[in-house]
């Protein structure tokens, strides 16, 4: 199996978070950047870069209260402990995969992300409720008890900047509400992906997040390939954080050369 260059992976993280992400070197106390970890990753990628963009283009804009509560909201530098953030043993190269047969994860259809390379995040044994949300390891066609469905999320600023600053419209007369949107359709998510040209190898990539989504917290929209984690206007920062942590957990970053 091919191995993705970790410098390219750092560039993908930079694209997702709209920041410069640098590996932690030496003692953590010597780093001057805010640290990215699996618990704040989705907040950073989905809220902070949107809020930063909104503030830079509209001085009077109202941003997510959770984003505003994080010190990185207006920063462009993040650090990451590579050994704690990534789990290379679970990386998987789907770039030459042609098996698009449908199976299930958490009772929902799942199609393998053919054409993409998955960089695994270190999520095993990280959450207090255990690992049931991930299901069992290895390829299988069926769901297992307690497992959460797979969802994908791209974070293109131009496509996603309205999610936390206004209600989200997905087609005429379809008004779904405020919150985090994702989809079980990787082709749909690809249209919202971030793109970057690697300074490491000169190649162009798309990057999206691969998540598990809590079926008890997810709202299936009128357009059923859109799933919403609702975060109503006026929600306190503490409550927003609680909703995000209970609802959606990234476990991989998907890259595709274009």
4-17 pLDDT, tens digit each: 999 999 999 999 88
Q: Is the entire prediction scored with pTM above 0.75?
A: yes
Instruction: Give me the pLDDT at residue 118, please.
Output: 97
Instruction: Please tell me the distance from the alpha carbon of residue 192 to that of residue 117, in angstroms, as a whole number.
Output: 17
**Beta-carbon contacts of residue 180 (< 8 Å; ≥ 6 apart):** 42, 46, 153, 163, 228, 229, 231, 244, 247, 248
Instruction: Please tell me the distance from the alpha carbon of residue 170 to that of residue 122, in angstroms, as a whole number.
Output: 33
Instruction: Give me the pLDDT at residue 158, please.
Output: 43
Instruction: Give me the pLDDT at residue 27, please.
Output: 61
**Beta-carbon contacts of residue 83 (< 8 Å; ≥ 6 apart):** none
Instruction: Give me the pLDDT at residue 46, please.
Output: 65
Q: What is the DSSP string of 56-74?
A: HH-TT----HHHHHSGGGG
Which residue numbers in the chain have pLDDT < 70?
1, 26-33, 46-75, 155-176
**Beta-carbon contacts of residue 57 (< 8 Å; ≥ 6 apart):** none
30-78 pLDDT, tens digit each: 555 588 899 888 877 765 444 443 434 444 444 455 555 444 444 578 8
Instruction: Give me the pLDDT at residue 244, please.
Output: 84
The radius of gyration of the chain from alpha carbons, rounded to an integer in Å, stands at 18
Instruction: Give me the pLDDT at residue 156, please.
Output: 55
189-202 pLDDT, tens digit each: 888 888 999 999 99
Domain ranges (residues) in the chain: 6-257
């Amino acid at each position: 199996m091919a191995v993705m260059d970790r410098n390219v992976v750092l560039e993908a993280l930079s694209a997702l978070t709209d920041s410069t992400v640098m590996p932690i070197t030496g003692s953590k106390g010597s780093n001057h950047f805010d640290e990215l970890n699996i618990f704040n990753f989705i907040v950073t990628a989905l809220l902070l870069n949107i809020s930063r963009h909104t503030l830079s283009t509209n001085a009077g804009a109202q941003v997510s209260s959770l984003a505003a509560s994080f010190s990185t909201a207006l920063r462009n530098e993040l650090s990451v402990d590579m050994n704690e953030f990534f789990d290379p043993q679970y990386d998987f190269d789907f770039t030459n995969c042609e098996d698009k047969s449908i199976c299930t994860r958490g009772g929902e259809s799942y199609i393998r992300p053919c054409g993409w390379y998955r960089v695994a995040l270190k999520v095993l044994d990280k959450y207090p409720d255990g690992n049931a949300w991930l299901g069992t390891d290895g390829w299988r066609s069926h769901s297992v008890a307690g497992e959460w469905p797979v969802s994908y999320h791209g974070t293109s600023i131009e496509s996603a900047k309205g999610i936390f600053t206004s209600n989200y419209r997905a087609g005429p007369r379809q008004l779904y509400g405020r919150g985090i949107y994702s989809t079980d359709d990787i082709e749909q998510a690809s249209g919202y992906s971030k793109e970057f040209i690697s300074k490491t190898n000169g190649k162009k990539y798309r990057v999206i997040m691969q998540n598990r989504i809590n079926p008890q917290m997810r709202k299936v929209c009128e357009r059923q390939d859109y799933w919403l984690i609702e975060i109503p206007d006026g929600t306190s920062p503490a409550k927003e954080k609680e909703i995000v942590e209970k609802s959606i957990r990234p476990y991989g970053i998907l890259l595709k050369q274009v």
